[in-house]
Amino acid sequence: MSALREAFCADLERAASTRDLQDLRDRYLGRKRGRLVALLKTLAGAPPERRRALGQAANALKQEIEGELTARREAAEKRRGPAGAVDATLPGRAPALGHRHPLSLVREEMESIFSAIGFEILEGPEAEDDYHNFEALNMPAAHPARDMQDTLYLDGSIPAPGGGRPATLLRTHTSGMQIRYMETHEPPIRIIAPGLVYRRDTPDLTHSPMFQQVEGLLVGETVTMGDLKGTLEHFLRALFDDDTRVEFRPSFFPYTEPSTEVFITCVFCHGDGCAVCKQTGWIEILGAGMVHPAVFEAVGYDAERFSGWAFGIGIDRVALLKYRVDDIRRFYGNDLHLLEQFPS
């Protein structure tokens, strides 16, 4: 009897869960194979004068075991709280984290490359006026270059050719931030202005009516085209890889003179020629140039004393190349299959 009691106490010590407690109850008090029942059966063969005392002791032990088991179960339930409540002792479940959008990743990478070399990062209005988006950038009303950028006007306020009331529009590029910054600051200037821009475009593989650009502007007293080339080479190699070759080809923009279109070695074939680069080995990546004297005149800078350069690069275009995405529309489709491939 006392051996059984000791065995029970040792087992109870090891019981860790309510499941263990139930097992213990079955093992000791079970009606068919319980150890106590087995003990009681052996009592049947004991002398009659001892049977009564042994029966009382067995009953006492049974009650003791039941009492212990009940106390342990109640204590466990108290820790867990009322039925259906949260078990505060369970380890927590990690919440699902969102993922960074590929356009945000590229934008932040560009920002960190430029802030590391002393550029300030600005943001400006997406609803812009005609003056900052066009006129101050050497594109007066009826300038043919305006046709290069199909504009979305707000309030239905398309300006009459040759002037009329000022129109409000969704900015077609981030270049207006050059004007806004120079109007309120004196050189030297080193800024980049990332943000959304809008064009009246039909969406296809490479066009979206809304996309993102980063504008860059540097102005000082002895700024040369060599500074522009060196800075952009550094930027593009940091953005793509160290082996990227950079080529500057003559181009035209109303707000820069001279102007250049900048090409990099194709990120797909590394210059060997493929379908993406149309077998040329080169991919056009951005537009740039020396700030046009008419732009300095618009903001009241002395174009004889100051010179500067500017560039504009499409964030979407870089993301398409970097992440091998085949359709710009996928960046705006909220497709989790695409987005979940990027880090949190």
Q: What are phi and psi of 153, to 5 degrees?
A: -90, 145
CB of 284 to Zn ion, least distance (A): 12
Tell me how far apart the alpha carbons of residues 162 and 281 are, in angstroms, rounded to a whole number.
Answer: 44
β-partners of residue 308 are 219
Cβ closer to Zn ion: 268 or 332?
Answer: 268
Task: Classify the phi-psi angles of 155: left when phi > 0, otherwise alpha if psi is within -120 to 50, otherwise beta.
Answer: left
- Helices 2-14 and 35-43: crossing angle, nearest 10°? 180
Q: Single out the residue of 214, 240, 239, 269 nearest to residue 109, CA to CA.
A: 239
- Residues near Zn ion (CB under 5 A): 266, 268-269, 274, 276-277
CB 287 → Zn ion: shortest distance, Å? 20
Name which of 214 and 267 has its Cβ closer to Zn ion. Answer: 267
- Beta carbon of residue 224, minimum distance to Zn ion (angstroms, whole number): 32
Q: Which is nearer to Zn ion, 4 or 274 (CB)?
A: 274
d(CA 200, CA 331): 18
Pair 247, 207: CB distance under 8 Å: no
CA-to-CA separations, 183 to 85, 180, 274, 282, 299, in angstroms, rounded: 63, 5, 45, 37, 5
Q: How many CA atoms lie within 13 A of 41 on its CB side?
A: 8
CB of 319: closest distance to Zn ion in angstroms?
A: 18
Least separation in angstroms between residue 245's CB and Zn ion is 13
| Cβ neighbours of residue 148 closer than 8 Å, sequence gap 6 or more | none
Cα–Cα nearest to 25, from 43, 37, 42: 37
Min CB(206)–Zn ion separation in Å? 15
Cβ closer to Zn ion: 238 or 269?
A: 269
Residue nearest to Zn ion (CB): 266
Give the position of tokens 């969406």.
Answer: 203
Q: How far is the CB of 247 from Zn ion (least distance, A)?
A: 14
Identity of the residue, 114 or 263, whose beta carbon is nearer to Zn ion in the bound complex: 263
